[in-house]
Structure 1
Amino acid sequence: MTGLPPEIRSNVPGTYPYGVWRRRHPRLLAQIRDAHLYPPAIRDAIDALSDETTDGVMTPLPRTAHDHATWNGWGREHFGAPWPDAPFLWAEAYFYRRLLEAVEYFRPGPWAGVDPFDFLKTEDLEKYAPEHVEGEALLLASLWGNLNDLGFKAGADLPETAAVGLVADDSTEVWSILRPDAGLALVVVADNAGAEIIADLALIDHLLATDRARTVTLHIKPHPTFVSDAVTADVHTALRLLPAEVTDRLRAASAAGRFALATHAFYCAPYSYHHAPADLAATFAAADLTILKGDLNYRRLVGDRHWPATTPFVTAAAYFPGPVVTLRTLKSDALVGLTEATLGALDATGEAWRTTATHALIQARLAR
């Protein structure tokens, strides 16, 4: 991939990514260590990871890890250097894989398969069940549900102001193809558990019930990562909290083959969708529309790079295998598709509007 802006890295003091390594991750690791009945060996491994990621150099997974060879190949150029020197997206993905190794998630024993983030995902979850709303309100609920990003909240100094608005809004174009009886085959790539996945399921129910979608495949992570990213268990938790009639319709749609869950190992890989393997790219190409949820999927779609913010979204997303729409609250620096006027007005505020989740966007590239 030539001609692209440089990748975002975390080694510049005072930047948002720098703060992730110096503040957010150490706080998160301490929370996880203290919330579980971990034995001394796991507690020590968590503390060692905290020390390594803040002041040490990146080291490989142990050879006993089932995916050691894969990550060793991916990370060869980064091992031995400080964590912030690696591309931010790459290092974040590897951080969460190393955390699972520290808590023995993949190792036979009492902690095998235990989600280290579950205690954060389930806090006050019941209060997020959606009201009976339709159409555009459900799309916006799914968008703003992305605020429920526990990885972002851990260690973030959030403003007191609520989310204030959209910096880009292609929703009219999106609804022009998501018309009643359109019968589209949709792929929805989820982001967070909790409020967001509940809102996503409510939107999916509406799209199926109105025949805007013939089928919907909801893609989730294959294992816990990025704190609150949704896995299968989180979807089933959300189903129990939705209104009974919504849950019943989704279960019936599943039985009829209209609604399904899917996953792919690539969703936990440290790369953008430019590197999507052939089978996943073919899935996106076969869909009438792919809806990508959240900040991480946005970074993976356009590339976690220092884009000029006025770069057209259709340019940055031109390579994607099929029509795509992204719903994102802004929590990191990568950004395209703004007008000069919008960018100027936002920059004039003097606020860190790109990274505080006070703004959001709906962007689409609908042509094949």
Structure 2
Amino acid sequence: MGNKPGSFAWGVLANRHPALIQQVRAAFPYSRRQHEALDDLLDEITNGAVEPLDPEDHDHEHWADSGREHFGRSWYDAPFLWAESYFYRRLLGTVGYFGNGPWQGVDPFAPFKQAELCGEAVEEELRALDALADAPADERATALLHASLWGNRADLGFRVSAGDAAASEAAASALVADDSAVLWQLLPAGHSSTVAVVADNAGRELIPDLILIDLLLEHRHAERVVLHVKPYPYYVSDAMTADVVDCLRRLTQAPGEAGRIGGRLWRAMATGSLEVRTHLFFCALMPYEEMPEDLREEFAGATLTIMKGDLNYRRLVGDRLWSATVSFAARTAYFPGAVAALRTLKSDVIVGLDQATLDALERSGAAWRTSGTHALIQVRR
């Protein structure tokens, strides 16, 4: 819930969401009507009660059903995952994303994603790939797995492979769980594996995911990779098909190893060894335990499903304040096949820690659950 002042959930509702409204407002030359709608939403989330969608909205029935107990009450008194998800749905509505007007389908978060792709940080990380090109296969695999894990800190993974002792120590101490050996056991080279990757963020975080996919295909850890993305903007930086294309273009236009990787991925999409898919459920607020049958069959056909990022983790294990030592395998027993979580910690939810690790983290006094300074690789066969 978000009604405990000072908690992570409270901070998102009280600070992050109002700030995001202002950022979206400044990013586009919206009309007077859109500005007024943004003002109304800002006032509602800060001072008012949760209001339902317009009955004419295409998904009114879905949200009316899930929000029946929350409409008319404070945003802070709704379950955090529901409140977050509904906020983004309302934000898209205020700028006309789903309407029949000229702003239909215009991603309000696109400027943030594109600015990140053009930034110096991405440039440096792509240059770092040149040093990895001739690294031993196991070092390269470790580096690219860690780069995908850390996303916006992908350079940490690259530096580990380059023999940076300080980076190696930092990476080891920052992992609260590491089942990477099990992950590679499930994907031995030379087997006709199918890997499903459920993407999280676009931009700087999606590029390392694509580079890891190239490794899986190029070194025959997978014969085929299916990359699952969102069907429309969901949380602020979630990846859609357009973002995959933008990242591929960024790679193909880069010199050196990055450009070669981009070229291989572009060809992989043309030949079908890399396929991009989407499903409305990826923008739903339900946990994966309630996934529809067609998506369950999709994941059942994969040798391994890799879930990227914090939101996917929350939906995978259930968005509750579990005891951190609850078994990851037990919480994902429902999943129709082997599943791996690659996640930088940015929210309170976590399971699968051993008691000694948990005790050490708690003694540190750091905000290790939410600060993005720690990460995990958890796998259930």
Q: Does TM-score exceed 0.5, indicating one fold?
A: yes
Q: Tell me the SS of whatever aligns to 1:334.
A: coil
- The answer to whether the aligner puts 1:337 opposite 2:347 as a matched pair is no
Q: Per-residue displacement from partner, 1:251-273 (whole Å, max 9, x unpaired)?
A: 22222221100000011111110
Q: Per-residue displacement from partner, 1:147-186 (whole Å, max 9, x unpaired)?
A: 69xxxxxxxxxxxxx9861000000111112221122111
Q: Per-residue displacement from partner, 1:265-299 (whole Å, max 9, x unpaired)?
A: 01111111011111111111111110000000000
Among candidates 198, 201, 208, match of residue 207 of structure 2: 198
Among candidates 132, 135, 148, match of residue 142 of structure 1: 148
Q: Tell me the SS of whatever aligns to 1:90.
A: helix
Structure 1 vs Structure 2 CA RMSD: 1.5
Other-structure match for 1:176: 185
The residue type equivalent to 2:268 in the other structure is A
Among candidates 303, 306, 320, match of residue 288 of structure 1: 303
Per-residue deviation, 1:54: 2.1
Q: Tell me the SS of whatever aligns to 1:213.
A: coil
| 1:1-368 → structure 2 map (5 Å cutoff) | 9-126=1-118, 127=120, 128=122, 130=126, 131-132=129-130, 133=132, 134-145=140-151, 165-242=174-251, 243-366=258-381
The residue type equivalent to 1:230 in the other structure is A
What is the TM-score of this pair, normalised by structure 1? 0.91
Whether the aligned pair in 2 keeps the contact of 1:146 and 1:191 (CA below 8 Å) is: no
Whether the aligned pair in 2 keeps the contact of 1:333 and 1:354 (CA below 8 Å) is: yes
Whether the aligned pair in 1 keeps the contact of 2:116 and 2:203 (CA below 8 Å) is: no
**Is there any run of 5+ residues in structure 1 with no aligned partner, and where?**
1-8, 149-161
For residues 244 and 343 of structure 1, the distance between their equivalents in structure 2, rounded to whole angstroms, comes to 42
What is the TM-score of this pair, normalised by structure 2? 0.88
**Deviates most, 240-249 or 343-352:** 240-249
**Is there any run of 5+ residues in structure 2 with no aligned partner, and where?**
133-139, 155-169, 252-257
Name segments (4+ residues, structure 1) moved above 6 Å: none
Q: Per-residue displacement from partner, 1:85-130 (whole Å, max 9, x unpaired)?
A: 1111111111111110000001122211111011111124233153
Whether the aligned pair in 2 keeps the contact of 1:147 and 1:329 (CA below 8 Å) is: no
For residues 16 and 338 of structure 1, the distance between their equivalents in structure 2, rounded to whole angstroms, comes to 20
For residues 295 and 77 of structure 2, the distance between their equivalents in structure 1, rounded to whole angstroms, comes to 29
Whether the aligned pair in 2 keeps the contact of 1:103 and 1:111 (CA below 8 Å) is: yes
Whether the aligned pair in 2 keeps the contact of 1:186 and 1:288 (CA below 8 Å) is: yes
Count of paired positions: 345
In proportion to residue count, which structure has more helix?
A: 2
Whether the aligned pair in 2 keeps the contact of 1:328 and 1:362 (CA below 8 Å) is: yes
For residues 48 and 146 of structure 1, the distance between their equivalents in structure 2, rounded to whole angstroms, comes to 33
